Amino acid sequence: MSHVRIWVHAVWGTKNKLPYLAGPVKHEVFGHIRYNANEKGIYLSEIGGFHQHVHCLLSLTADQNIGKIMQLLKGESSYWINRKKVVAGRFEWADEYYAVSVSESHVERVRKYIRNQEEHHRTKTWEEEVNEFMEKYGFTRVPD
């Protein structure tokens, strides 16, 4: 048996940055994403976010890859949100997502960062956070 622990901090947002996750909707959606991850054998250690985006701390197993996990989490949750009519109108996640590896020694710091999204976004917009994330990890933005 292989023993693998690859921590990943994944972030994705709503289509057109619409604030669908404001108020109690956020907790309902995050609860469902956590439930769905568990059902699919995805270890989701932490989930949080703000009005238009989600942060997850995931641990991949030997047979998982980030592309498939993101497809499962985003696709199924979008389907569920629309089927249950959790928000008014048609809900969609943005196509893009961000994912970076996390050192075992930084896992607790990332958990705390994810838990404190409400506080974090009192002084920083989602766009500012994305720009920092892209710069910090050397991502290049591709025009639509």
pLDDT digits (tens, 9 = 90+) for 60-116: 999 999 999 999 999 999 999 999 999 999 999 999 999 999 999 999 999 999 999
The label of the residue with tokens 């048609």 reads: 90
Q: How far is CA 52 from the centre of its chain?
A: 10
**Domains defined along the chain, listed by start:** 6-136 (3.30.70.1290)
Beta-bridged to residue 10, according to DSSP, are 56, 99
Would you say residue 120 has pLDDT above 90?
no
Q: Give the whole-angstrom CA distance, residue 125 versus residue 82.
A: 26
**What pTM does this model have?**
0.89
Cα 46 to Cα 9, 54, 88, 91, 110: the distances in Å are 9, 10, 27, 23, 9
Q: What phi, psi does 140 have (nearest 5°)?
A: -110, 130
Mean pLDDT of the chain, nearest integer: 92
